[in-house]
Amino acid sequence: MNNPDFFNDELLEKLIETFYGYGNFQGKYWFIGMEEAGGVNFKDIDKRINIWGKRGQQEIEDVAEYNEALGYGASFKPGAKLDVPVWRALIRIALSAAGNQNIDIEDVRKYQINELGRKDKETCLLELLPLPSPSLAHSGSAHLKPC
C-alpha cells in the first residue's frame, strides 16, 4: 500500500523478523538492549523502516552509516557530541574491558566515532525489540514485569 498514513506492511514485517541491531556479530563485546531510542512519531519510524529497506534489509547495520543515512551522522564525525548516555556507558565498559585506564571524554568520543557499532569492529549492539521507542513508558517492553 502506498498510503503515506500507513507503514509498508511487508517491509515492516521483514524488519521485525530480521533486524537485530548494529555492529559486528563476530565482535568481542556484545551489548543487548530492550530497543533503540527514537520513534517519536509515525514519520520517524516510517523513515527508519524505509531507509533500512533501501540499504539492503540487513540483519545488522553499521550504526554510523545507518545514522548518516537517517540524517543523524554528526554523532560519528570529529567533535561529535556525546549526547547518548547509553553509548557513553557502553564505550567505557568496552574500553575498560580492553585494559584502558584513566578513560577521558576524548577517549570516549574517539571510540564513538570510529568503533562503536561499526560493521568491522569489536562491538555488537543488539536490540530485543525491533522498533525504536521515545521512552520506557512508550516502550513495547513497558508491559513487562520483573520476575
pLDDT at 92 over 60: yes
Query: What is residue 134's predicted lDDT score, i.e. its pLDDT?
Result: 64
Angle in degrees, 0-180, between the axes of helices 63-70 and 42-54, rounded to the nearest 10 = 120
Q: Does residue 13 lie in a domain region?
A: no
Q: Does residue 51 lie in a domain region?
A: yes
* Residue among 87, 105, 107, 113 nearest 95 (CA): 107
Q: Does residue 7 lie in a domain region?
A: no
Q: Taking all residues of the chain, what is their mean pLDDT, rounded to a whole number? A: 88
pLDDT at 145 over 70: no
- Percentage of residues in the chain having pLDDT higher than 90: 73
CA–CA gap between residue 13 and residue 57 (Å, rounded) = 11
Look up the domain containing 70 and give its range.
20-129
**Count of structural domains, the chain:** 1
Angle at 51 between CA 24 and CA 22, to 5 degrees: 15
